[in-house]
Amino acid sequence: MDRPSGARAVARCTELGRAPYSQMEDGLFRPYLGPSYRATCDRLAEWMTQAGMTTRMDAAGNLIGHYEGLTPDAPSLLIGSHIDSVRDGGFFDGMLGVILGIEAVAHFARAGKRFPFALEVIGFGDEEGSRFPSGMLTSHAVAGVLEAPDPDMPDWAETATLATALQEFGLDAGRMHEASRRGDPVLAYVEAHIEQGPVLESEGRALGVVSAIAAQHRYRVTYRGMAGHAGTVAMPLRRDALAGTAEVILAAERIARAGTDGLVATVGSLHVMPGAANVVPGEVVFTVDVRAGTNAVRDRAAEEILAVIRQVAARRDLELDIALQQDLDATPCDPVLTELMEQAVGDVSGAPARLLVSGAGHDAMIMAHLAPVSMLFIRCAGGISHNPAESVTDADTDEALRAMTTFIGLFERRFG
C-alpha cells in the first residue's frame, strides 16, 4: 500500500495499536510523554516525512508536520487530532484523524500540488487526560489559552509530576506556553474523528458533519469517612464513603435521565480506600462528568448533582472536597467551514450530509479559541469507542479521505 488510501490509514492505525506503540502488551494504552508515546511520535514523523512534510515537536510535546505553501510565509490550515489513548482503548480514536491528515497531504504531494496556504498536521499529546488529570492540556497550549500548569501535578499512577515527565521527554514545564500559535497566521483547524456513537451506522451513512460540540463539566470528588472493621462497626455508627458515593451515582443518573438537550452524566472512575473486603471504605475519590448541548442545561444539571453531593456528605458525616477539573463551553463549528464540509461530503457520497452534535469532547473545542474549526465524523461499528472493539472500514475511511481532500480544494477556492 504505497498510495494514500483509506486502507493504508486503517492499516497504520492498527500498526500503532501494538507495542512498542502501546504501553500494554495485549491492548492499547498510550499515555502522554510515555515511552509508547515517544515511539508513536517517531513513527508518525517517518510517515509525515514520506508525505513531503518537515516535522518538529513543539514545547508542549505535540508533533507537527508542515507541508509548505506556495510561499514560505504562507498562512496555515491545521489538520489534526490526538495521539494519546485511554487505557485499553481503540485503535482509531484520535489517531485516525492524525493519519487522515497525513494521507491528505501525501495525496497532494504525489500530485505536486501546493496551496496559497501551508498544510500542517498536528498530533496533540494529551486530549484524553491519559496521564494527568487535565484533559486537552496540549491543545490549550497551542490555542494560547493554557493557564500556567501546576508543574507538581502528579500523574494518575503517582510515579511522576508534569515537570519530571516533561523533563524526561526533553521538555520544560515552564515553557509549555511557547507552543502557542496565537499571533501566527492560522486560517482554520479541521479534525476528522470517529463518531463514537451509533447515529451514522443506524442511518447507513459513512460520514457526518459536526455542527457543534457539547458543553462539559468534569469534577473530582473526594469523600472521607472512617475506615473500620466490617464485622464490628455497627451500621448506625458507620461513616461509609462508598455508600455515600453510591447515592451520588444513582442521583446523577436520575438527574441526567430527566434532562433535555442531550444531557448525560457519568461517574466513570472510583478509587476506594483502603479497598479491602473486610474494611468499611474510609475514603473514595470519584469523577463526575456532565455534558449537554448547551451551557445552560449542563450548568443546571451540574448544580443539582453538586447539591446532592453536599447533602450526602452532611447527612453521612463525610468530609468533602470538590475540584472542577474540566470546564468546556459548548462549541459551535464555524458556519462557513461547516457549509464547505457539507458540500465535500455531499460531493463524495452523492447525498446530503448529515449534521450532528458531538457529545464527546475534542481538541477542536479548544482550537476554536485560535481559529475557525470544522469536524468530520466517520462511522464506527456499533458506535463503540474507548474500547478494543472500536473499528472502522477501509471503504468508509477512503470516503473520509476523499471528503478531506475535497474540502481542502473547496477551502482553497473560498479563501485562497
- Cα four-point dihedral sign 368, 373, 378, 379: positive
Q: Which DSSP helix (H) or strand (E) runs through 342?
A: helix 335-349
- Give the pLDDT band of residue 116 (cuts 50, 70, 90): very high
Asked if residue 221 lies in contact with residue 320, where contact means CB atoms within 8 angstroms, the answer is: yes
Give the CATH class of 215-328. Answer: alpha beta
Q: What is the mean pLDDT of residues 97-107?
A: 98
Q: What is the pLDDT of residue 188?
A: 98
**pLDDT above 70: percentage of residues in the chain:** 100
Is position 18 annotated in a ligand binding site? no
Q: What is the pLDDT of residue 158?
A: 81
∠ at Cα 260 (258, 263), nearest 5°? Answer: 85
Q: What is the pLDDT of residue 361?
A: 87
CA distance 416 to 407: 13
Taking each helix axis from N to C terminus, what angle separates 35-50 and 95-110, rounded to the nearest 10 degrees?
A: 20
Q: What is the mean pLDDT of residues 10-33?
A: 95
Query: Which residue is associated with the grid cell 507552543?
Result: 179
Is position 128 annotated in a ligand binding site? yes
- Give the pLDDT band of residue 22 (cuts 50, 70, 90): very high
Is position 304 annotated in a ligand binding site? no
Distance of CA 313 to the CA centre of its chain: 32
- Give the pLDDT band of residue 1 (cuts 50, 70, 90): low
User: Has residue 316 got a pLDDT over 90?
Assistant: yes
Q: What is the pLDDT of residue 209?
A: 97
Q: What is the pLDDT of residue 104?
A: 98
In the chain, ranges of CATH 3.40.630.10 domains = 6-214+330-415
Give the residue among 90, 33, 26 at the shortest CA–CA distance from 61: 33
- Cβ-Cβ contacts under 8 Å for 240 (sequence gap 6 or more): 225, 280, 281, 316
In whole angstroms, how large is the CA radius of gyration of the chain?
22
Q: What is the pLDDT of residue 114?
A: 97
- Give the pLDDT band of residue 416 (cuts 50, 70, 90): confident
Q: What is the pLDDT of residue 328?
A: 85
User: Has residue 109 got a pLDDT over 70?
Assistant: yes
Q: What is the pLDDT of residue 260?
A: 86
Q: What is the pLDDT of residue 118?
A: 98
- Give the pLDDT band of residue 357 (cuts 50, 70, 90): confident
Give the CATH class of 6-214+330-415. Answer: alpha beta
Is position 362 annotated in a ligand binding site? no
Q: What is the mean pLDDT of residues 250-272?
A: 94
In the chain, ranges of CATH 3.30.70.360 domains = 215-328
∠ at Cα 214 (213, 218), nearest 5°? Answer: 125
Look up residue 361 and give its DSSP letter: -
Is position 82 annotated in a ligand binding site? yes
Cβ count within 10 A of residue 310: 12
pLDDT one-digit tens code per residue, 167-200: 999 999 999 999 999 999 999 999 999 999 999 9
Q: What is the mean pLDDT of residues 260-283?
A: 95
Q: What is the pLDDT of residue 363?
A: 96
Q: What is the pLDDT of residue 288?
A: 98
Is position 387 annotated in a ligand binding site? no
